[in-house]
Structure 1
Amino acid sequence: MQQMPSPYRVEPSRPTGDERDRHAFAAPAISTAVTLAGGFVFGWLAIMTFVVCGSSCDSDPAGSVIFTACTWSLVAPVMLLLISWLLPWRRRYSGARLGFAILAPLSLGAIYVLFNVWLALT
């Protein structure tokens, strides 16, 4: 059976990579919630480590270096979240947006592991 040409010359809609992604906010929003919760837990554990350590941590300069380095390393998850939010909300960027959104909480977990390893080595 042969298809009849449309008298109105309307082309069928085909999805392209330049269409707006209606669900573009989902991955960054979930990642932001998980990263914020993990960041608060990580910060609380880092502060409590030095509270429990007591006066021996105050005299140890390595403890303050560890705490400062871990505080500044929290910039990485924040930057990954910003990138996932600021990418254009088009379908072609959905993979990159999802990747950056997944890397933000994972980088926070890596920072926590490095904090504990560094603390154990000192």
Structure 2
Amino acid sequence: MEQMPYPYEGEPRRPTDEGRGPLRIAAPAISTAVVLIEVFVLGWLFIMTAALCGSACHYGRGAMRFSFILTVCGWGLVIPMALLLICWLLPWRRRYDQARKAAAILAPLSLGALYILFNVLLAVS
């Protein structure tokens, strides 16, 4: 049986063109490792801040301010975790590579911004 020639100008598109590449997992994996290290370091710094603050953080108006700061920063952890979920759960296609890389870069940066916010709120109160 004779095969018909392809009637269009270019080569036919292969279904493997948009398959999962071996290096596409690198950005989410590196970002997750950096975020985990950052969470341990920043968690330790948050705990040490409460310990160094002493009775000023635990009694009176200082307790209300400190609990507000911890609540804001606790809810702020949703952003880096959502960015990590985005970079892991996006479909593994080439057209999503840029979005995956952007989410992988923004996750550790947003955690650093959260620590800066914590220090600013602590200095203001």
Normalised TM-score (structure 2): 0.83
Corresponding residue for residue 44 of structure 1: 44
Shift of residue 13 of structure 1? 6.9
Corresponding residue for residue 4 of structure 1: none
Pairs within 5 Å for 1:8-23: 12=11, 19-22=18-21, 23=23
Superposed CA offset, 1:18-65 (max 9, x none): 602312211000000001111111111011101111111001110111
Pairs within 5 Å for 1:62-101: 62-101=65-104
Find runs of 4+ consecutive structure 1 residues off by over 4 angstroms.
7-16
Unaligned runs of 5+ in 1: 1-6
Pairs within 5 Å for 1:106-117: 106-117=109-120
Which amino acid is 2:19 matched to?
Answer: R
Q: Percent identical across equivalent pairs?
A: 57
Corresponding residue for residue 3 of structure 1: none
Q: Give 3-state SS (helix, strand or coil) of 1:21's partner.
A: coil
Shift of residue 94 of structure 1? 0.3
Normalised TM-score (structure 1): 0.85
| Matched positions, count | 116
